Amino acid sequence: MNIKTGKTIAFCIYAISCIAFSSEPVNELSGDTDFEVGLGTMVSGPFGYGTPAEARPANFDETKPWYEHDKTTGYNSSGSLKLLNGATRCPVPVILPKGTYTYSCYMKSDIPNGRAVFMMLKQGSVFHGPQGILARRGKEYVEVGKEWKRCTMTFEADGVTGYVPYVGGWNRGWGTIWLERIMISKGKNPGEWQSAVKYRMDMKAKSVYGNVHPFDRNLNAELHMVRYGDQLPKEPLRIRVTDFYGKTWKEYRITPEFKDGHFRQEIALPVGKSGWFKVDATMDGMPNVTMAYVLTRPVEKVPSSMEPFVGLYGVQSIPEAGRLLGVSWVDLQESWRGSMNDKNEYASHSMELAPRLRKAGYKIKISLQPCPPERFLKKKTLEDAAKVKIAYTSLLPEKDTVETLWRSFMRDYMKKMHAHVDKFEIGGEVDAAYGLNTYYKSLDQGKNMVGNYVTGESMEVLSHCVRVAAEEILKVNPTAKISGVRPCDCDCRDGFIYSTEVFKRCGKYLNTFAVDCYPNPRWIGPGRPAAGTEEPLAFVYKKGTEAMKKYCKGSEIYVAEFGYFIDYRHIFDSKYGGEQANRLLRNFLKAKALGFAQFYYFLAIGSAGGNEGQYYYFGIWWNASTPLPAVAALATAGRIVENVDQAEEIPLKSDLGSTVYRKTDGRAVGAFWAITSAFTPTLEVEANKFEAMDAMGNPVHLDRKGSKLLIPLTEMPVFLWSTEQNKDNYVLLRNAMKNARIQNDIPIIPEFRCESKDALKVYVRNLSLSQEIKGNARYAIPGTDKTGTVRFSLAPASTQIVRLPMPPDGKTIEATFDFGDDYLPVTKKFTPELIRVVRASGLKLDGTLESWKSVPPIVVSGSSRIQPMDGTTYNGPDDLSAKMYFANDGEYFYFAADVTDDHHFNVFKGNEAWNGDSIQFAFDPETNHVENTKAFDPDDTLITVAHTSEGETFYVNRSPRRSEVRNGSRYKIVRDEKTRHTLYQVKIPLSLIGPNLKQGSVFGFACCVFDDDSGSKADYWLYLTYGLAGGVNPALFAQCILE
């Protein structure tokens, strides 16, 4: 990249003014690039971040504000972005056609020799890696003074990657920066700044920060539009308000009347019911503007003798909104290294924030990290850790400083904070931070391992830190609630084997247990399987309480962090917003019924990039003016689970969720929902005087059949309230729920599998244990003339294969299963996605890819393909990525993987080879896994290939023809330390993978690349598809077709 500032800029501007262009440059940034109407489009979104000064009440700034909209100064305009204490990025990456571009903006400072970081980031390496912020921010800066100056930078776009403009401060001595007129233009010269649009508008609801408002109070929105040029709009401004279910609630048509290029007006937004509402504004020549607001009903009042249940990460940034939603708990993070400056003085934002939040009605949970300031660590420790990619922020204190420096810190911290904290966590996600730490693994050399976690000396130091902290807490608060470990989903998945080691050493100090048990998968968006459900919470609760009862003072357990993340490119797609909302709501319902003490959802206003891949946004507010549907679902969750003194699950059917809750004032409420979309029946429940409510908190009418209420179920919960006077509403409602009848029980479950290039097979399973099911499968492939009917007859509890035609590429088949008058029909759609195993000849296993040039690779890369994400040292494609090649010659299946891996370790043998750097792959030759069990079928094959300390390894972990596969296969594995590449090449007889495989056949395939950066077992893996590592399930394998 070429950065131009100072005299070079002046020359560029002069040269441009003297050249006649055939056309004006086009600004590729469509946001409010001159900050005339506001900040939202340029700072809020998945990649933008920071704390706007005007958005939060002064008393609740977590740190200093990062920026503000300065309406007193601008470059030839009336507004600019003032960077106070940080940086800004354009919020949505720009994907540009391949070519040369210039990124430019105007800047000034409050000091003559100000500086600002000025660079272009590539999506996928925003934070980390050699092209990320952390590596570049202290080096790539421009000098600016008190007068506006244009800074420019040229860069090459590859036509594929998204680019993120970045401007910001890094050093406090650099001064305050003002930013104006951002532009990306084609070519090497910036040209005159241009707006990308004719009109730009900002909408703001006159509500608390976060756009949450009582449902029964009037609410107005302010419109502010700017006109670029003299042209008047040819059509009115159209505004439409829709509810959570997509129903239009109100519409407006407004003709803007401009004064000095500006139009301002207020409109009254509709109110009167609770839930989530989206406001869309459109006009020709103006980018579409979207805002949303949430209307809430009164929250449940929790008795002072009872701990509230609902917590929300980041609620300190939206405190008024949080209270309107019924949020009671706030999480504050505190680290030893972050709360002491170089002079050993406290610089803790939690010390300032906690008293204010308590005054606002919040309860405070503090997560204390024992990572010391860098100066307290030995030089050799820092150097050795850096060699295995571990920064000082992931290190424990030196063991001889725990009793002195750490104890002193905790003693002083408690003097200041003991009156403001309700719950303490000592360490956060330490299973990943220290148990999977490559530095501590390298020191231990595999001598002290529990599963994949290192214990040994690092475990002793960690446990000592927990004991010291607990002792200092208990000195000033003998009844304090204290948790240790707070494992991430790694140890949660492993049944708390690492946490148990900590409990063994210091459990007598611990009376509660915080867990970060994220769902799997937690990503929501196109091409993803359905997000994980609430069902694994039962395993977490059981295993967590078992470990505590054995070693700790108490057995209370709570969810400290949990969330689902949406692909930001589809953030306003109702399908995905609805999926996030229903999963949030159901997890709160399940957690309360199981007995968890609290549940903290992550996060309020978040960002994308970093650990969650290139596209996944963690947050339930898109920005301050746009809550997502999950915000309204959180309000409903609070109304159900707060003020509850008894709760339980009602087991009706494994496919249904059903819970009931007793309120302390005698009311009761129950919930019903379908766990998956495959089973959505109607329930018959004795009506009594129950009142129904939907997921948005509004009364809903239910049809009746005699004395029965008919409740049609979907994945979104439906609620029944019982509020009769002088009745045991809980018993009344619980009994009615237990006696509920499933009216139109779905008799079958159809599961689609590809069989060949011409045929699909549908495994149709009879769910009845006693009844024969007969019917017809009617199918159609839209866009073709393929239609037909297939008859089926199923004995009780049996499965039959129904064969249907394979749709052409990109087409969907729709099949309807009819059962006469006995049941309602079941309709399913299926779109095949196939990996093509190309026909090729002359392929060699020679440690090169010269003979493989005719085979197109599949690139598997990025953090969205890494599992588990929490606590790993994964740092982008140069750390771990792969190109995978699939081919056949009619006799053999050929597979190659060119793996980029910055460190190669494998000291394991035979069946254990997968524990080091290796590849493991599996075949489902008949694509026949349809059972509810997550395990291999007898005909499946699992193989590990690795380059170990003893040489090349090809190990058949399982196969019905194990010795034949081992003897009949060929392989080559080559590691090149200079290029950091490992090439795996394998050929296996097709007849040994599956006797029926031939040209046109389809088989299931899964592959994982394991990464061991320390020599003490792999910490994470790169996956082609789900279904292998992290839980075997061949139903999730990729489907491959032999050409």
Which domains does the chain possess? Answer: 2-186 (2.60.120.260), 199-296 (2.60.40.1930), 310-563+579-603 (3.20.20.80), 646-742 (2.60.40.1180), 748-832 (2.60.40.10), 835-1042 (2.60.40.1190)
d(CA 377, CA 371): 10
- Please return the burial class of 72, using the count of CB atoms within 10 Å of its CB with bins 0-12, 13-18 and 19+: exposed
d(CA 1028, CA 1010): 12
Quick one: which of 479, 493, 312, 469 has its CA closest to 406? 469
Cα torsion at 241, 247, 253, 257 (round to 10°)? Answer: 20
d(CA 646, CA 777): 46
pLDDT at 168: 78
Write phi, then psi, for 685 (nearest 5 degrees): -130, 135
d(CA 662, CA 646): 5
| Three-state secondary structure string covering 971-990 | EEEEEECCCCEEEEEEEEEH
DSSP string, 53-82: GGGS-GGG-SSS--EEEESS--SSSS-EEE
Q: Report pTM.
A: 0.86
d(CA 687, CA 738): 13
d(CA 680, CA 717): 11
pLDDT at 622: 87
Tokens read off for 764: 């149709």
Q: Say which residue the tokens 């001889």 belong to.
A: 400
d(CA 17, CA 13): 6
pLDDT at 270: 97
Query: Cis peptide before 868, with omega less than 30 degrees from 0?
Result: yes
**Three-state DSSP class for 139?**
coil
Quick one: which of 74, 32, 70, 34 has its CA closest to 52? 70
Q: Which residues contact 7 (CB under 8 A, 6 or more apart)?
A: none
pLDDT at 517: 95
Residue segments in the chain with a per-residue pLDDT below the cut of 70: 1-24, 40, 43-65, 85-91, 124-135, 170-172, 607-614, 744-745, 869-872, 931-934
Q: In 64-153, which ranges are continuous DSSP H helix?
A: 133-136
DSSP string, 423-435: EEEESSSHIIIII
pLDDT at 113: 93
Eight-state DSSP code of residue 405: I
